[in-house]
Amino acid sequence: MPMDAGEIERLIRSHIPDAEVTIRDLAGDGDHYAATVIAESFRGKSRVQQHQMVYDALRGQMGGILHALALQTGVPEG
């Protein structure tokens, strides 16, 4: 059973409370998503560290119930 976009967003926000999360279903199949995650808590962290925080939030779902996630991360502007 594919992972729902709302569940992906919920998992990310529960681990990174200050995150602004945008999820897009790329193929309409519930298996291929793109996520943009913007969070002040990413400030001072490398892109790899930011991505690790998001993957940690997904609790090992990548490659299993969540087949593919194109991920963009960053800090708020301003």
Q: What are the tens digits of pLDDT across the range 17-73? A: 999 999 998 888 777 889 999 999 999 999 999 999 999 998 776 656 676 789 999
Shortest CA distance to 66 belongs to which of 58, 74, 78? 58
Predicted confidence at residue 63, as pLDDT, reads 57
Q: How many CA atoms lie within 13 A of 56 on its CB side?
A: 9
Read off the pTM: 0.87
Domains parsed from the chain with CATH numbers = 5-74 (3.30.300.90)
SS3 call for 16:
coil
Q: Do residues 25 and 19 touch, judged by C-beta distance below 8 A?
A: no
Predicted confidence at residue 54, as pLDDT, reads 94
Predicted confidence at residue 48, as pLDDT, reads 97
At 38, phi and psi to the nearest 5? -115, 125
Residue 11: partners with Cβ closer than 8 Å, 6 or more residues away: 57, 58, 59, 61
